[in-house]
């Protein structure tokens, strides 16, 4: 006879099929073969994509550790330009990101020791910068995934029927979270037949749901949206900044003035009520949210002789906004939600700065 049981897993799962029962399947018994469309096969495209979806997401603290394959256990202390900051939560990480964007070298120095969680949910204590660097190098060559699709989710529980060819025991596993499903996928091997119970609900990047009734449908759904999981906060600077990147970033969304300095005169607070919209036709709308007045301006961009992006901003109907007027704003850094402009005189005596942050 064949043994069937349901296992509800609430702790860390490892795919070691229990051998508490010995098989007594008779020769006359018939093994019901599952549909191939429901079978998860080791090393398949479905397993690869599901592993990327369910791995531990380490992207939120990339400004600190520069790796999506690890996440640092908070709190952690860091040093930026000689000052020490304690990071307790995601708000603190975003504050450090704002600070780093404004610095010249953009460096964050971690104060060790720290604890980290790897992409596979294992934990490590790192005592020195050398140990940390060695870990990153090792992950580059040994990690079983090369990216994390954090913007895609799975609605749990997910049930998988597992038949062990050696023990001839069938179990139904009820997986309750990403960690359990990731562990199952990583330990999947050719000795078992793993059948996915349909439907499986996929949570898409826009928050909507899609149902997969077969493994091939699951693959198709994830592949259709995986590009939406690209890093939003990768900084582009120097020669990597192109006109296309700049325009695509600038015209998508509303902007506030995060910083405006006329040489050493920080005038940021005077612009706190303004929201800027840049249109592809070269126009700017500046809304004063306090008075509800809208002021019009224009912008343009070109590449100068030093292969830098040279931006012109011009307002004509507001004395305050006219302070932003220049025909030589140089784009220094771009993120999906930030743009840094500078105007430094040839003698390096003075420097004007304009930082925009997406609202």
3-state secondary structure 71-90: EECCCEEEEECCEEEEECCH
Least confident of 70-74, 153-157, 254-258, 345-349: 345-349
With b for 16 or more beta-carbon neighbours within 10 A and e for fewer, the 329-342 pattern comes to: bbbbbbbbbbbbbb
User: What average pLDDT does this structure show over 103-111?
Assistant: 77
Residue with tokens 């850094």: 333
| pLDDT, position 85 | 95
Token output for 147: 């990216």
| pLDDT, position 318 | 95
Choose among 44, 3, 20: nearest CA to 189: 44
| pLDDT, position 344 | 83
With b for 16 or more beta-carbon neighbours within 10 A and e for fewer, the 160-170 pattern comes to: bbbbbeebbbb
| pLDDT, position 71 | 96
In tens, the pLDDT along 196-242 reads 998 999 999 989 999 999 999 999 999 999 988 765 445 666 667 89
Question: Phi, psi (5° rounding) for residue 111?
Answer: -95, 115
In tens, the pLDDT along 130-174 reads 999 999 989 988 988 888 999 999 999 999 999 988 888 899 999
Nearest-angstrom CA–CA distance, 73 and 89 = 10
Q: Quickly count: other Cβ atoms within 10 Å of residue 158's Cβ.
A: 20
Nearest-angstrom CA–CA distance, 49 and 227 = 12
Are 338 and 358 in contact by the 8 Å Cβ rule? The answer is yes
Is pTM, for the whole model, over 0.75? no
Q: Quickly count: other Cβ atoms within 10 Å of residue 193's Cβ.
A: 18
Higher pLDDT, 99 or 5: 99
Following CA atoms 154, 160, 166, 167 in sequence, which dihedral angle do they give, to the nearest 10 degrees? 130
Q: Is 306 exposed, middle or buried (0-12, 13-18, 19+ CB in 10 A)?
A: exposed
Computed on alpha carbons and rounded to an integer, the radius of gyration of the chain in Å comes to: 27
Nearest-angstrom CA–CA distance, 10 and 94 = 33
Most confident of 102-106, 120-124, 336-340: 120-124
CA 187 to chain centre: 25
Higher pLDDT, 331 or 345: 331
Residue 13 has pLDDT above 60, yes or no: no
User: What average pLDDT does this structure show over 169-196?
Assistant: 94
| Alpha helix (H) residue ranges in the chain | 45-54, 62-65, 90-102, 129-142, 178-187, 215-225, 243-250
Contacts of 332 (CB under 8 A, 6+ apart): 237, 340, 341, 342
Helix (H) or strand (E) holding 353: strand 351-358
| pLDDT, position 346 | 67
Contacts of 43 (CB under 8 A, 6+ apart): none
Nearest-angstrom CA–CA distance, 134 and 139 = 9
Average pLDDT of the chain, as a whole number: 86
Q: Quickly count: other Cβ atoms within 10 Å of residue 174's Cβ.
A: 16
Residue 336 has pLDDT above 90, yes or no: no
Domains in the chain (CATH in brackets) are 3-15+32-54+150-215 (no CATH), 59-142 (no CATH), 236-358 (2.40.128)
């Amino acid at each position: 006879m064949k043994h069937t049981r349901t296992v509800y897993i609430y702790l860390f799962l490892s795919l070691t099929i229990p051998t508490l029962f010995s098989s007594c399947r008779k020769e006359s018994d018939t093994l019901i073969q599952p549909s191939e469309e429901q079978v998860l096969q080791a090393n398949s495209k479905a397993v690869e994509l599901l592993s990327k979806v369910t791995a531990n997401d380490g992207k939120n603290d990339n400004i600190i550790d520069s790796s999506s394959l690890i996440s640092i256990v908070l709190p952690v202390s860091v040093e930026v330009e000689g000052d020490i900051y304690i990071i307790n939560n995601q708000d603190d990480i975003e504050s450090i990101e704002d600070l780093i964007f404004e610095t010249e070298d953009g460096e964050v120095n971690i104060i060790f020791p720290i604890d980290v969680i790897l992409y596979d949910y294992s934990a490590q204590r790192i005592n020195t910068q050398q140990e940390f660097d060695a870990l990153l190098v090792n992950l580059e060559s040994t990690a079983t995934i090369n990216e994390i699709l954090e913007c895609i989710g799975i609605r749990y529980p997910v049930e998988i029927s597992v038949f062990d060819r050696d023990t001839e025991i069938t179990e139904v596993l009820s997986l309750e979270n990403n960690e359990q499903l990731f562990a199952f996928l990583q330990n999947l091997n050719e000795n078992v037949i793993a059948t996915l119970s349909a439907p499986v609900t996929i949570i898409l990047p826009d928050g909507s749901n899609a149902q997969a009734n077969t493994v091939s449908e699951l693959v198709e759904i994830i592949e259709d949206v995986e590009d939406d999981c690209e890093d939003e906060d990768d900084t582009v600077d120097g020669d990597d900044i192109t006109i296309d990147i700049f325009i695509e970033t600038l015209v998508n969304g509303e902007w506030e003035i995060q910083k405006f300095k006329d040489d050493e005169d920080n005038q940021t607070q005077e612009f706190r009520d303004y929201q800027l919209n840049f249109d592809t036709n070269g126009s700017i709308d500046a809304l004063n949210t306090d008075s509800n007045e809208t002021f019009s301006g224009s912008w343009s961009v070109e590449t100068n002789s030093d292969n830098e992006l040279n931006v012109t901003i011009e307002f004509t109907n507001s004395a305050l906004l006219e302070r932003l007027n220049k025909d030589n704003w140089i784009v220094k850094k771009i993120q999906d939600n930030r743009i840094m402009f500078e105007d430094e005189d040839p003698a390096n005596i003075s420097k004007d700065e304009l930082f925009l942050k997406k609202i």
